[in-house]
Structure 1
Amino acid sequence: MSRTGRHWLSVAALSIIAFLAQGVTLFSLGLVMPAMARDFGGHAGWAGTALLTAMSLASLPVGWALTRMDARWIVAAGVLLSAAGWAGAAASHYRLALLCAMAIAGVGVAAATIVPGIAIITRDMAARRGTALAIFLGATIVAGAALPPASAWAIDLWGWRGAMARGAGLMLALGLPLVLLVTRGPAGVTEGSVRPSRVALAQRDFLLVAGAMTLLQLAINGILFASVDALMHQGLGQGRAVAAYSLANLVGLPALLMAGLVTDRVGARQAMVAISLMLAAGSAALASAGPMGLAGLAAFVLLWGVASALPGQAGSMLLADVVGPAAFPRMLGVVTASIALIGALAPVLTDALRGADGGYTLAILVYAALAVLAAPLVAMVRHRGSD
Structure 2
Amino acid sequence: MDLFAAPHPIDAYEETALSRWLPVVALSAITLLIQGTTLMSLGVFLPSMAGDFGGQAGSAATAFLLAMSVVSLPAGWTLDRAGARPVLLTGIILSAAGFALASLAQNRLWLAAAMAVAGAGVGASTIVPGIAIITRLHLMRRGLALALFLGAAVAAGAVIPPFVGAAIRHQDWRVAMVSSALVIALACPLLVWLVPGGRIRAEPDHARSTWAALCSMDFCRFVLAMTLLQLAINGVLFAAVDALMAQGMTQPGAVAAYSAANLLGLPALLMGGVAADRLGARPSLIAAALLLAIGTVALTGVRAMGVPGVAAFILFWGIASALPGQSGSMLLADMVPPGAFSRTLGLNTAIISLIGALAPVWTDLMRQAGGGFRLPVLVYAALALLSAPLIALLRPSNAKTG
* Other-structure match for 2:210: 197
Matching of residue 348 in structure 1 with residue 368 in structure 2: no
After TM superposition, list the pairs within 5 Å mapping 1:192-271 onto structure 2: 192-195=204-207, 196-271=209-284
The structure-2 alpha-carbon separation of the partners of 1:269 and 1:150, relative to structure 1 and needing over 3 Å to count, comes to same
Deviations 1:187-227 (Å, cap 9, x if unpaired)? Answer: 2x233333242132231211111111110011000100000
Look up the match of 2:121. 108
Q: Which amino acid aligns with 2:131?
A: I
| TM-score normalised according to structure 2 size | 0.93
Q: For residue 149 of structure 2, what is the aligned residue in structure 1?
A: 136
Match of 1:153 among 166, 170, 184: 166
- Match for residue 75 of structure 1? 88
Using the alignment, how far apart are the partners of 1:275 and 1:24 within structure 2?
26
CA distance in structure 2 between the aligned counterparts of 1:231 and 1:178, rounded to whole angstroms: 36
Q: Tell me, in whole angstroms, the C-alpha distance in 2 between the residues paired with 1:120 and 1:239.
A: 37
Q: State whether residues 69 and 353 of structure 2, in contact with CA within 8 Å, keep that contact through their aligned partners in structure 1.
A: yes
CA deviation vs aligned residue, 1:321-379 (integer Å, no higher than 9, x gap): 22232211110000000000011001101100114785211111110010011011111
Contact 1:252 1:309 (C-alpha < 8 Å) held by counterparts:
yes
In 2, the alpha carbon distance for the partners of 1:355 and 1:93 equals: 26
SS in 2 for 1:289: helix
Amino acid at match of 2:234: N
Deviating beyond 4 angstroms after TM superposition, the runs of 4 or more aligned structure 1 residues are 355-358
1:1-387 equivalences under 5 Å are: 3-187=16-200, 189-195=201-207, 196-355=209-368, 359-385=372-398, 386-387=401-402
Q: Distance in 1 between matches of 2:77 and 2:396?
A: 26
Q: Partners of 1:239 and 1:206 in 2: how far apart?
A: 42
Tell me if structure 2 keeps the 8 A contact 1:23–1:144. yes
Distance 2:371 2:240 in 1: 13
Listed as ranges, the gaps of 5+ residues in structure 2 are 1-13
Distance (whole Å) between structure 2 residues aligned to residue 12 and residue 384 of structure 1: 30
User: Per-residue deviation at 1:382?
Assistant: 2.5
The amino acid of 1:211's aligned partner reads: L
- Tell me the alpha carbon deviations over residues 85-108 of structure 1, each in whole angstroms, 9 at most, x when there is no partner: 010000111222111111110110
CA distance in 2: counterparts of 1:186 and 1:264, whole angstroms: 26
Give the length in aligned residue pairs: 386
Give the Cα separation in 2 of the matches to 1:265 and 1:128.
11
Q: Structure 1 residues 129 and 266, CA, compared in 2 at 3 Å: closer, same or farther?
A: closer
Shift in CA distance, 57/284, structure 1 to aligned 2, threshold 3 Å: same
**Structure 2 vs 1, CA of residues 2 and 260 (structure 1 numbering), >3 Å: closer, same or farther?**
closer
Cα deviation, 1:254-310, whole Å, max 9, x if unaligned, reads 010111111223222222111111100000000111111111111100000000000
Does 353-362 or 76-85 show the bigger shift?
353-362
d(CA) in 1 for partners of 2:309, 2:221: 32
Whether contact under 8 Å (1:7, 1:183) holds in the other structure is no
State the Cα RMSD in Å: 1.5
Q: Report the 3-state secondary structure (helix = DSSP H, G, I; strand = E; otherwise coil) of the residue aligned with 1:213.
A: helix
Larger mean Cα displacement after TM superposition, 123-132 or 147-156: 123-132
Q: CA deviation at 1:72?
A: 0.9
Distance in 1 (alpha carbons) for counterparts of 2:330 and 2:59: 32
Identity across the alignment (%)? 55
Cα distance in 1 between the residues matched to 2:108 and 2:244: 28
Does the 8 A contact of 1:70 with 1:184 survive in 2?
A: yes
Residues 100-150 of structure 1: per-residue CA shift (max 9 Å, x gap): 111110110011101111111122223332222111111011000011111
Quick one: structure 1 residues 248 and 86, their matched pair in 2 at CA, closer, same or farther if it must change by over 3 Å?
Answer: same
For residue 74 of structure 1, report the CA deviation from its aligned partner.
Answer: 0.9
Moved more, 53-62 or 67-76: 67-76
2:9: which partner in 1?
A: none
One-letter amino acid of the structure 1 residue matched with residue 388 of structure 2: A
